[in-house]
Chains A and B, each alone.
Chain A
Amino acid sequence: MAFNKMNLKDIEVWDGNHAAAQALRQAQVDVVAAYPITPSTPIVEGYAKFKANNYVEGEFVMVESEHAAMSGCIGAAAAGGRVATATSSQGFALMVETLYQASGMRLPVVLNVVNRALAAPLNVNGDHSDMYLGRDSGWIQVDAYSPQEAYDLNLMAFRISEDHDIRLPVMVHQDGFMTSHTAQGVHTLSDDAAYNFVGEYKPMNDMLDFEHPVTHGVQTEEDWHFEHKARQHNDLMLKAPPKIEEVFTAFEKLTGRKYNQVESYDMEDAEVCVFCMGTSVETAREVASEMREKGIKAGVVGLRVVRPFPFVQVAEALKNTKAVAILDRSSPNGAAGAMFNEVAGALYNTGIRTLLSGYIYGLGGRDLTKAHLVALFNELQANVNAGKITTQLQQFIGVRGPKLSYL
């Protein structure tokens, strides 16, 4: 039975979850193996509904845990076809073992991670703790700040992941609830245009080619393990970035929507800058333009590609600044913020001597308000005026009780 196509309006009102589900439908994914968890559940529910109404021809398997979801995705990907799933938080944590196996076996999979806090205490709302849990897993990670970007990046993710020079799984992140459950206008592609952009799946080392049996997931010890890991890192460092750029460029040509590994807003002459991810980018941009009206040269840098970390582009984006606040939406648990360390590392051996300070914010879905950001930009300006950090290096913002600051 042939499956039905959908006639989408040029602009649909979708939340981030529905945007992701629509992208999976348009990519004509062969297998989705999934398990529900708030706030990513509507992605797989949406996909199941498409299946029930004959809008997808592929298989949908509702398994018994997130670990099984990724295990099934790995088996399906090794068999040789397009694979995707979605998860959040505790489910993502349960999946972590298999994340390393998917990437180590060089299998293309697209995983939507709708970011949510990690327990304890249990919390269903958005922060980036789970995202950071995946950063060393050998996946490519891209971050969507809006439903539009969740849609666009999903389509691009397949093309990056399945490229025979890459063959690495890709996570598409979006903020739990703030993006996943917030409906906005999303510019769509027609089903045909979207599928043509993603392209047909081209199998490689597929288990279902019975004339060419393959062995996946071998044992290596000190004799070969290092070479495998080194090669994976090498491809993340050298092959993935140009491929990501190539796909971003092709997508811009098709849609006019331009993506960059590092997104810069009002940074041409910015002296003070907020560096962040997710929905905070939009809030920070709005406050930055208000700060400019008050004479503060404010800008915003958003990280789009989390892995492979765009070391050079981050330094380039910040090179003319005088003070930068790096916002981490994750508990640092005994260290400087994860993103703070990454950015500091990118700048260290350069001539850039901008003043870096770290802010921990928004844990468990706590709002980042414009007032927080106004105060933050003012602190940055004070740092510029003093020529040094006037606060402690790490501050918590928006948390109850006496001010928490460290380092």
Chain B
Amino acid sequence: MSEIKQIKNLKDFSTSADRFEGANLLCPGCAHSIIVREVLNATNNDLVLAASTGCLEVCTAVYPYTSWDASWIHIGFENSSTAIAGAETMYKALKTKGRLKQPDRNPKFVAFGGDGASYDIGFQWISGCMERNHDMMYVVLDNEVYANTGGQRSSSTPIGSSATTSPAGSISYGEKQNKKDMMGIMAAHHIPYAAQVAPNKWKDMVKKIQRGFATEGAVFINAVSPCTTEWKFDPKDTMMITDLATDSLVFPLYEVIDGREFNITYRPKNVVPVEEYLAAQGRFKHLFKDEYKYLIKEWQERVDAQWAYLQRREEAKV
């Protein structure tokens, strides 16, 4: 068990030894870098990291530069989970054989992937890693779109969002399918810990990440990552949009322990209407036409129903 790093305020974060450098090519206002720093800075332990092909990867390891001051690997789009599982397995083997160079260390193994890499193309690889219960953490940087390739829909893209492969048009309101319940699927693996986090609620997030690091076995984290480019909002508004996501309950914050114990970890004092969350983003602009306003109403009903369901689960302790 590693020592839990004390983080009482944002200053504690900012004074952490930064293992993810500000020198990267991510868009101004991109939430990825905020999430990654919140994950990395939550521990003083050594880290072994992986990233799937995507924004984070192409913006942080452009030869001959690297933004990573911890060992890091990228293989492909679908397999950052298995890459880190392989490294973790090697760690176990070398530990057994007494061949670790620094045997007194207690490294943590973390893989990052976007929602395209996680909900879609890398789904099977993550499921395999979770089922085998590798001692690792998988973090989804969930911006609900293939951002790196220019805004195509993924199975995380919500209904009504205009993406380049499900564009809003004269006879279309954009994406037709509901967002995949990745948290539900991952929790159904009965892994020791699964949690949904948001970078604006940093105290909640750091608590969950630290719990994840202290957990032996597979940990799944789904982090909402508002995308200034594809969600179409001003780069200065990233945290405001994230606030709307969590406070409208479009993106509820909760955790599932061993697939059975369910805790809601954030209850907004003032719940914001979904309409406000949608109105702040260009990707939903067309929903405010008269003919599509019913979709906003339906969305609110879905969010209410899901929130009621989550609360019932918590109350029933299931």
Residues of A within 8 A of B (CB): 30-31, 33, 57-59, 61, 63-65, 67-68, 71-81, 83, 97-98, 101, 105, 203, 206-211, 213-220, 224, 228
Contacts and interface: CB of A to CB of B under 8 A. Distances in A.
Nearest to B72: A215
Contacts of B299: none
Contact of A63 (B62, B82, B99): B82
A208 B71 CA distance: 8
A101 B76 CA distance: 8
Contact of B89 (A31, A203, A207, A214): A31
Nearest to B127: A64
Main secondary structure of the interface of B (DSSP, over half): mixed
Interface residues of B, number: 48
Contacts of A98: 75-76, 79
B78 interface: yes
Given A33-B86, A61-B85, A210-B107, A215 B61 contact: yes
A207 B73 contact: yes
B207 interface: no
Contact of B86 (A58, A79, A105, A218): A79
B63 A76 contact: no
Given A31-B93, A218-B63, A75 B68 contact: no
A207 to B, nearest CB: 4
Contacts of A74: 73, 75, 83, 86
Nearest to B68: A215
B26 interface: no
A98 B82 CA distance: 12
A184 B94 CA distance: 35
A213 to B, nearest CB: 5
A210 B83 CA distance: 18
Q: Which of A71, A203, A216, A224 is the most central at the interface, judged by chain B CB atoms within 10 Å of its CB? A: A71
Contacts of B72: 207, 213-216
A217 B61 contact: yes
A71 B132 contact: no
Interface string B71-111: 11111101100111111111111101101111001010000
Contacts of B107: 208, 210
Given A61-B132, A72-B82, A208-B71, A79 B125 contact: no
A218 B62 contact: yes
B74 A217 contact: yes
Contacts of B61: 215, 217-219
Interface in B182-229: none
A76 to B, nearest CB: 4
Contacts of B91: 79, 208
18 contacts: A30-B90, A59-B93, A59-B96, A61-B85, A63-B82, A63-B132, A64-B131, A65-B124, A71-B86, A73-B86, A74-B75, A98-B76, A98-B79, A210-B105, A214-B71, A216-B72, A216-B73, A219-B58
B57 interface: yes
B2 interface: no
A222 to B, nearest CB: 12
Nearest to B78: A67
A76 B69 contact: no
Nearest to A78: B73
B68 A30 contact: no
Q: Which of A67, A78, A208 is the most central at the interface, judged by chain B CB atoms within 10 Å of its CB? A: A208
Given A67-B78, A81-B99, 17 more contacts: A33-B86, A57-B96, A63-B132, A68-B82, A71-B76, A71-B125, A72-B83, A75-B87, A80-B90, A83-B90, A97-B76, A210-B105, A213-B68, A215-B68, A215-B72, A218-B61, A220-B62
B128 interface: yes
B146 to A, nearest CB: 17
A120 B61 CA distance: 40
A79 B48 contact: yes
A63 B86 CA distance: 10
Contacts of B244: none
B55 to A, nearest CB: 12
A216 B96 CA distance: 25
Contacts of A79: 48, 86-87, 90-91, 94
A31 B86 contact: yes
Contacts of B78: 67
A73 B70 CA distance: 20
B125 A64 contact: yes
Contacts of A224: 63-64
